[in-house]
Amino acid sequence: MYTASDYYTFALSSQHYQEALKLAERAHTKFALETALKLTHDITIHAFGSDNSLIERLKNPLQTVDMNRRIQTSKSFDLPMKYSPHTLLRGLSRELLEDPVSRNSLPTALKSTLQPKFINRLLEHITRKGY
């Protein structure tokens, strides 16, 4: 879920994007960071137009990101915003492909997800309105 707090965190910490991208690379979370930066970019353009200093600061870290990649289906930008299942599955699959620790823990995680109690909690979590 992407909240207004996330937007302001990314907007106000733009001077640290390069360090954050390096850390995300090492932690195998680059897709998640790039997705949040892309969403920050889209919201900024929608709210303030393309002629502002934040868009200029976002250009460099977003050079490698497919700017046509869809993160959501509407352009309303109501926050908090849930990521689409497609985006979540894409991020999870990239995590599993890139991170050996995640790959090794997959059998244990799958065993836990097959429990009815977990499935019920997951469905409640997915369908909730707030965060």
pLDDT tens for 114-127 read 899 988 988 888 78
Full-model pTM: 0.77
CA separation for the pair 95, 20 (Å, rounded): 17
Which two tokens mark 26?
Answer: 């090492």
Question: What was the pLDDT predicted at 8?
Answer: 93
For the chain, how many structural domains are there in total? 1
User: Does residue 119 lie within any of the structural domains?
Assistant: no
- String of b and e for 9-44 (b: at least 16 CB within 10 Å)? ebeeebeebeebbeebeeebbbbbbbbbbbbbbbbb
**Residue 72, domain extent:** 4-104
Q: Flag whether 97 is in a domain.
A: yes
Element (H, E) at 29: none
Residue 43 placed within a domain: yes
The tens digit of pLDDT for each residue in 61-118 reads 787 676 566 565 456 678 888 888 888 899 999 999 999 999 999 999 889 888 999 8
Q: What is the pLDDT of residue 73?
A: 42
Residue 118 inside a domain? The answer is: no
Assess if residue 55 is contained within a domain: yes
Q: Which residues contact 3 (CB under 8 A, 6 or more apart)?
A: 79, 80, 81, 131
The answer to whether 14 and 54 are in contact (CB under 8 A) is yes
